[in-house]
């Protein structure tokens, strides 16, 4: 199996495109656009953390903000996204307050936790509709250019998904690979034991890190 086939299979498992996955396999070596550097400002990392918290809020376990997702996201966007993906992400994030006002009548940071969750849900719906239309358009292109079907990943790289899709992927990746995510939300085994295909499980048990 070559790299492209592996990425396509992972995308199928996750139900969507793995943004920046090509660079995870090659090593993250992208250069940042000027706009991306603004993501590292304290007020922006706080905003990213607050939006991530609307997706993975603190409950009995820590949430995305406490896990440091707000600081993780700018690094990944800078180092692992193409310029078009970076631009789509930064432009989308800049529109967050407009979406919050549309849904709940106030800028995002002035909203309650419940209202922030409602904004995130509205963005998720918008993203799903956008990505569905984009996938249909990409399918049409491939059907008309069957000899180029092995270039599917190139189409994806040059045609970024909705910015909130990228944000969600980074939120989940950052949280479940953080120390808090691995040790509090998941079960962490410091020294893994042998493989047990019949390990006892009851509903509600945590997955292993």
Give the tens place of pLDDT for each residue, 120-166.
999 999 999 999 998 888 777 777 777 666 665 566 557 899 999 99
- Angstrom CA distances, 173 to 68, 143, 161, 167, 191, stand at 12, 33, 17, 10, 22
Domain ranges, ordered by start, for the chain: 3-180
Give the residue from 186, 166, 167, 168 showing the smallest Cα distance to 176: 186
pTM, whole model, 2 decimals? 0.77
pLDDT band at 12 (very low <50, low <70, confident <90, very high): very low
Percent of the chain with pLDDT over 70: 76
Q: CA–CA separation, 86 vs 91, rounded Å? A: 8
Indicate if the pLDDT at residue 68 is higher than 70. Answer: yes
Between 179 and 206, the more confident residue is: 179
**What does the pLDDT average to over 99-105?**
98
Q: CA–CA separation, 132 vs 17, rounded Å? A: 12
Give the residue from 63, 53, 69 showing the smallest Cα distance to 111: 53
pLDDT band at 33 (very low <50, low <70, confident <90, very high): low
Between 102 and 185, the more confident residue is: 102
Indicate if the pLDDT at residue 109 is higher than 90. Answer: yes
- Angstrom CA distances, 151 to 15, 133, 164, stand at 19, 19, 25
The length of the chain, given as a count of residues: 209
Contacts of 45 by beta carbon, 8 Å cutoff, 6+ apart: 39, 70, 71, 73, 74
Please provide residue 181's backbone torsions phi and psi, each rounded to the nearest 5 degrees.
Answer: -60, -40
Indicate if the pLDDT at residue 13 is higher than 60. Answer: no
Q: CA–CA separation, 27 vs 168, rounded Å? A: 21
Give the tens place of pLDDT for each residue, 115-128.
999 999 999 999 99
Give the residue from 205, 169, 165 showing the smallest Cα distance to 185: 205
Give the tens place of pLDDT for each residue, 181-201.
888 888 777 766 667 777 777
């Amino acid at each position: 199996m070559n790299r492209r086939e592996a990425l396509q299979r992972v995308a199928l498992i996750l139900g969507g495109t793995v943004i920046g996955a090509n660079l995870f396999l090659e090593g993250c070596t992208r250069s940042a656009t000027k706009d991306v550097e603004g993501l590292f400002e304290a007020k922006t990392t706080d905003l990213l953390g607050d939006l991530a918290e609307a997706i993975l809020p603190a409950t009995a376990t820590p949430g995305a903000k406490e896990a440091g997702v707000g600081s993780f996201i700018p690094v990944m966007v800078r180092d692992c996204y193409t310029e078009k993906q970076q631009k789509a992400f930064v432009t989308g994030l800049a529109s967050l307050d407009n979406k919050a006002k549309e849904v709940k009548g106030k800028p995002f940071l002035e909203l309650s936790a419940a209202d922030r969750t409602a904004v995130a849900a509205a963005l998720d719906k918008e993203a799903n509709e956008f990505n569905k239309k984009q996938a249909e358009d990409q399918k049409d292109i491939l059907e008309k250019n069957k000899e180029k079907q092995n270039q599917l990943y190139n189409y994806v790289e040059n045609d970024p998904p909705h910015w909130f899709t990228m944000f969600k992927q980074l939120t989940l990746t950052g949280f479940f690979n953080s120390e808090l995510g691995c040790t509090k939300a998941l079960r962490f085994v410091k020294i893994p034991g042998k493989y047990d295909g019949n390990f006892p499980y009851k509903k509600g048990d945590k997955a292993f890190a």
